[in-house]
Amino acid sequence: MAKDLPYFQFEPSEYLAGDISICSLESQGVFINLCCLYWQKECELGLSKALRRFKQGLIQELIDEDVIKVDEDQIVISFLDDQYNTISERKKKLSEAGRKGGKVSKPKPPLSDTKATPKHLEKRREEDSKEEEIKKYNNTSIKMKPKASPLHQDLKKDFLEYYLDQTGNEFFWTAKEATNLKQLISKLTFSIEEKKEKSSAKKEKATDEEIVSSFRIILENLPQWIKEKTFTVAGINSQYMNILNGIKNGQSKQISNEPTDEEIRAKWARILGEE
């Protein structure tokens, strides 16, 4: 394959719209290298061999984000498999035609359905199928999952900015954090919809704005011990109920420009004391 066809189809727009775009830049670089190695090896590449070239954590990130798959220790890159199979079939047909002297006999006029025998109908179906495969080859392109939702990107951005503001350091985002963020979004969605159902006695879906707002409230009300010991999305996800109960019980500061009841009482106490 490397000699017969040293290139594969690649569309930047499909790449930027796929799940690969939410992976770290290091993992994206590994993915491009994996694609080249995979194609050169005729789409047969063992996981153990890939791990000798690239860091396990970066390959695991690609697996967790479903950018690549692993089947019995064999790496699977679907869009390259599609191209390889289509091209191989086309080469086979051309080779068979070449053995016949390169002459392709003119097709006989198709028989009408009433005159065609089962054998003729089966042959016609095979020819139609081959035509579809050729069309598929001509339109082959990278097929990846849709880009991660804007909601996922917004929450990730909020956390990274908050972490930087609180610690003065950049946070190292991993596949584990991405997975925990997805779980956290599900928990936030459930909590919001449950609250709506209790207040209005009917089911209403949580909006992205409500989820973003709730996530920001959680960030601003994180207990100090979480910031000191497990200041990660995974840590927030694992302690979600404890953080939520703390907010409900007023054990953490609320995000509001309005003074709390305690602040109002303290203010009046100072005023009366001064008088």
Instruction: Specify the pLDDT at position 113.
Output: 52
Instruction: Specify the pLDDT at position 153.
Output: 92
Residue bearing the bigger pLDDT, 227 or 94: 227
Nearest alpha-carbon partner for 61 in 94, 84, 27: 27
Contacts from 135-141 at CB under 8 Å and sequence distance 24+?
Answer: 136/86, 137/83, 137/86, 137/87, 137/89, 137/90, 140/9, 140/82, 140/83, 140/86, 141/9, 141/11, 141/14, 141/79
pLDDT digits (tens, 9 = 90+) for 120-155: 667 777 777 777 766 665 555 444 444 567 899 999
* Range in 5-9, 133-137, 189-193 the model is least confident about: 133-137
Instruction: Specify the pLDDT at position 270.
Output: 61
Cα separation of 262 and 133, whole Å?
72
Residue bearing the bigger pLDDT, 201 or 127: 127
Is the pLDDT confidence value at 1 over 60? no
Q: What is the pTM for the complete model shown?
A: 0.41
pLDDT digits (tens, 9 = 90+) for 58-84: 999 999 989 999 988 899 998 888 888
Instruction: Specify the pLDDT at position 141.
Output: 43
Across all residues in the chain, what is the average pLDDT? 79
Instruction: Specify the pLDDT at position 112.
Output: 56
Instruction: State phi, psi for 76 to the nearest 5 degrees.
Output: -125, 120
pLDDT digits (tens, 9 = 90+) for 21-66: 889 999 999 999 999 988 888 888 999 888 989 998 999 999 998 9
Residue bearing the bigger pLDDT, 2 or 139: 139
Instruction: Give the C-alpha distances (Å, rounded to integers) separating 22 from 14, 67, 149, 231.
Output: 13, 10, 10, 21
Q: What percent of the chain has pLDDT over 70?
A: 75
